[in-house]
Structure formats: C-alpha cells, structure tokens
Structure 1
C-alpha cells in the first residue's frame, strides 16, 4: 500500500480526533483513545448521549472512509504512530509520556533478538517479556512483533501508572490483533508477576515520591542527599527482581546517567543480583537537544550460566542511516554477544 493511503487514513482519524476533542472538551490524547477504542471494537460508543447524534454521524462518516481490512499490520502500526506524534504536538506531552520512536524500538528489538538467540532461548515455550513503564505500548508492541516474526511465542506484560496511556496501549494491541496483559499501578510496589525472560523499557526520568517504599531499594539515593529517590534507578533494580536467572534487561536511559553524582549507587544495586554488560549511546542526530540524548543499558540477571563480560561493551551506535557503519556495528555486537554468552 502506498504512503498516500496511509496518509489518507491518518487524515480521517485525525479529523475524527479533532471533532471528538471539541465536542467533548477532551485533550487530543483523550479523543484519540475514544476513537481508537471505537475503531478497534467496530462500534461508535455513545455514553449519556455523548457524542450527540450529529457529532456521532460526522465521526462515523470518517470511520467509514477507511477500510482497515485492506491495511497490513505494519501499515496500521504506521497510522498509530503518526497519530500519537500528533498527540505529542497537540497536547505538548512531557518527555516521559512521549512515544518511543520507531527507529529506536527497532534497534532494541534487534538487540533483544540477538541476545535471546545467542543465549539459546527456546521457541517452543512462551517467552515472557515485561515492560515496567509501557506507556502507549509502542516499544513493547514493536519488540513483540519482531520476536514473534522470529518464531518466538511471546507473552507480554506491561505496567504503567497513567491509566489513559495504558488504555491506549491496550486498544493498540487489540487494533493490531496482538495479545498482551496490562496492569495499572505503581510498578515499584510488590508485583504479582512471574519471573520474565526479557525486560525492555524506555525509562521515565524523575523522582519517586514514596520515600518509605524507596528506602527498601539499594538504588535509593536519599541517603546521598537527593530529595527523593530516582525513579529510573529503582525501576532497573525492580526489573532485576522479576527476571529469570540469565535473563536480559534492555533499558533506554539518559546518556549522562553514568556521570551523575549518584551513579555508583545504581551500579552497586545492579551488581547485587545482575551484571552490567553494555552501555551504548544512541546517535546524537535522533535528539533535538544534547541533554535529551539517550543510551541503551543492558544488564543480565545472575545465574543460569550468566557471567560478567570480560569486556563491558561501551561505545556509540552509528547513524542508523549509515548503512556501512551500521553493518560493522551489528557484526561487532554479534561477536560480542557470542563472547559474553
């Protein structure tokens, strides 16, 4: 299908969002959730007479102009991604609520696939994948798609404390006919979660406000002088608690995280039950500002034959459009993953 059809579908959904937004006094993101739910379920929901018949007719007319049955899953996903980029623009969403870009999600999918393959992960039993801060679900969705295309039977679980973003993730998976379980709540509390084979997360950056709970973590930095503990530190430690022996955690973190005054606290917390295996800086060109740059942190749970890499992989990922250097990087990563495992 040509890009014109994808753009046309985006335009119709965007119009429906703008109409819903104005009629119900919603944010763009709220309107998008309402329309996505309607599209995924195949029926326009009316509650207490809202939207009114005139508005409902206009929105339904827009729905009827898109034949989703003619769209592949990848094309549907592209429309979802375009709409959420518009939501970021319309609602000026804070950085912690923004979608993980598709290019970065694809790169993390490659890392996950390569590490699982080298580890000898079985394709005969369900592969448990966990995103502790799932948001709208784009990262988890792309990782799950990539792994399932590689022959894995993926059982995904996502947590988030933002009910609207979580609802969008749930409906996005439904729209694409993918299965996952989503839970609303504080992921830093005790979880009813079986040990997982893989963790992927685009970690939110900021303070965790519940000081008493933070004190139960080794990565708590309050005794070092911070007003509260760093949420992203705690989430890495929490993820390790729920990983199988030998399982991998792949996290997007601020590039400057290892230069922070309290980074030793994080490294020590990882070392309690895991191994700090790799830290790779994403290309600068992917970020509008240098301070917004992110890196890929890879940790591995102790046990199950895992060992500390003799050479922790630290470096820069080349420009994703630089085919020659990307091929060299992938070859280097492949060799390193074989050595570490």
Structure 2
C-alpha cells in the first residue's frame, strides 16, 4: 500500500465515522471529528448517548484500523484532510490551516538554523489545529523537542490535542489568548503562522510597545512582540508573515522594535501561485534575538521561492540556500 492510499484510507475512516457521530449526537462535523479521533485513540466508543447499533458500526470501523501501521505523517495528513473538509463546510476567518508545502519548508529552514541542537524547546503561540507544529515535529524526529501550543479557540485546540495523541506527539497545549500572560518558560524557538487582523482587547494591547496609537492594535504586531519576549536570548523566531507587513502606518514602529531586539537572519518569499491574490501572499521571516556572542549575518538569507512544482527551479534554490548556510558556518 503506497503512502497516498494510506492517507486516503485514514481520511475515509476519519470522515465516515465523524459523519456517523455528527448525525446522532448532534454536533458540527469538526466536533464529531474530534470525538471520533478520541475514540480511535482510546480504542473504544466514549459517547454513552449513542444507540447500540451506532456503537457497533463505529467499533467495526475502528477495529479495521491498525494505527501503528501508519507513519505519524500519514496520520497527520489523513486527519488534516478531514479537518479541511470540516472547515470548508463552516468557514470562519480564524479557522485557517497552514498549507502543507509551507509547513514542510518552514520545517526545513528550522532544521538548518537549529543544526547541532539535539534538544530544544519550541512554542507556537497560535497553534490552531497544530498542523504546522506537527509537520515540524514529525520531520525533526531525530531531535528531542519539548513543544508548546496556545490557542484561544477551544475547538481548534481540541483538534490539536486529538491530533497530538493520534501522532504520539507530546505537546503541552493551552486554551487561552496568547497575548495574555503565559505559564510557559522562555523557549529556544518560536514558530507562528501569524493571523492578520486587529486585536479587540485594547486594555491588554496597552501593555505592549507595539500597541497602536489610535484604534485597535494589529494582532500580528503584538504577537511578534510577544514571541520576541518569550524566546531566550539568542533564540530564533520563524514567522509566516504577510508580504505587506512593513507597508502599513504602524510599520516604522515595528521596524524599530525588530532592529532593537533582533537580527534579521532571513526573508523567504513564498510562491505567489500559492495565494488567491497578491495581497494575500506571505513570506517566512527568520529573526534571532540579540545576545552576547550573537552577531548579524553579513548578508541575510533573501530568497523568492519558485513554484514548489517546478522541481529544477526548486533544486537550484535549495542549492543556493544550502550555500548560504555553509558560508555562515565558515564565518
């Protein structure tokens, strides 16, 4: 059985059992998906209110699945497809998942910057369903990563919790506003696909340097400041940012904050073709918090990625990126 059919088989099982639960509970598809994920993890039907016939139908499906025979990445992808189906049925602006290709590339870039570290701590302050975080953990299985995720949306964090269990990933998850105080020690690295928009809590925003002088503050600016404050000296921030980040009225203040606090290590523009419009396009922004012994790179890693499907152009780009890292080592 090849990898694609394994992912499809997992998706079909997640989907079919979620639909059965959705019809009888009643609940939304995503809520039912979280319920069926819990059932699969425990190897049982946990919902007492279901009819005996429904329980038997579900158990027959669950018993046909040998989760141990699937890789963590197969499980992530199968579960992700089911989540995407649920999100398309009930579109909410804060229910958006980092595309797989972006997650894989962020993981690759992180792997290069964190080279030599067998163990490190990692925080995703807007973890959502955990797809970006799990992509990194699954692709850096050669490292011992203590990871933390925070999200204000209780359904998304529940899906992240279920996904973590199914993928056997030990992640500490917190259901709260990440701009409130966190009960997490400073970490070695922060990864975040920044949600773009305004932060409604002006009282909390007032505690931040990057608060707006008038009206609501940008949530993504405050999250950059929060991430900077929550990473150790010399630690890294891997941020998926809108390309328009430095084009707003508040940009000069943000620029001054970053210049004071960190060194820009890299800015990698994601392929334009990945986004619905030029205005929606994003980049990967890599910062290193200033510390004794940490210096700015002679030249930051600047790149504009071709389409991921253009194999030759991607190979050429990867060669250039690898050369940049080799030059940094020889400094």
TM bracket, shorter-chain basis: over 0.9
Alignment of 1:1-341 (within 5 A): 1-2=1-2, 3-46=4-47, 49-94=48-93, 96-117=94-115, 121-123=116-118, 126-148=119-141, 151-221=142-212, 223=213, 225=214, 227-339=215-327
Counterparts of 1:68 and 1:251 in 2: how far apart (Å)?
A: 32
Task: Please give the alpha-carbon distance, in whole angstroms, between the structure 1 residues aligned to 2:137 and 2:75.
Answer: 16
Distance 1:57 1:290, change over 3 A: farther
SS state of the match for residue 190, structure 1?
Answer: coil
TM-score (norm 1): 0.90
Tell me if structure 2 keeps the 8 A contact 1:275–1:307: yes
Q: Tell me the distance in 2 between the aligned counterparts of 1:174 and 1:251.
A: 26
Q: Which runs of 5+ in 1 are unaligned?
A: none
Does the 8 A contact of 2:11 with 2:82 survive in 1?
yes
**Which SS does the other structure have where 2:110 is aligned?**
helix
Distance 1:25 1:179 in 2: 31
Measure how far apart 1:72 and its partner are: 2.4
3-state SS of paired residue (2:256): helix
CA distance in 1 between counterparts of 2:68 and 2:117 reads: 33
What is the CA–CA distance in structure 1 between the aligned matches of 2:82 and 2:194, rounded to whole Å? 22
What whole-Å deviation, never above 9, does each CA across 1:198-250 have from its counterpart, x for those lacking one?
A: 111111111111112212212112x1x3x211111111111111112211101
| Alignment partners' CA distance in 2, 1:155 and 1:57 | 38
* Equivalent position SS for 1:85: helix
SS in structure 1 of the partner of residue 60 of structure 2? helix
C-alpha deviation, 1:165, in angstroms: 0.9
The count of aligned residue pairs is 328
* 8 A Cα contact 2:110 2:238, kept in partner: yes
Offset of residue 323 of structure 1: 2.1
Distance 1:110 1:200 in 2: 13
1:294 Cα deviation from its structure 2 partner: 1.3
Structure 1 distance, partners of 2:268, 2:71, is 33
Give the superposed CA RMSD: 1.9
User: 1:161 deviation in Å?
Assistant: 0.7
1:263 and 1:278 map into 2 onto residues whose CA distance is: 18
| Contact persistence 2:126–2:150 (CA under 8 A) | yes
Asked whether the equivalents of residues 72 and 138 of structure 2 are also in contact (C-alpha less than 8 Å), the reply is no
Conserved? CA contact 2:76–2:134, under 8 Å: no
Structure 2 unmatched runs, 5+? none
Runs of at least 4 residues off by over 4 Å = 338-341
- TM-score, structure 2 as length reference: 0.92
Range with greater deviation from structure 2 (97-106 or 1-10): 1-10
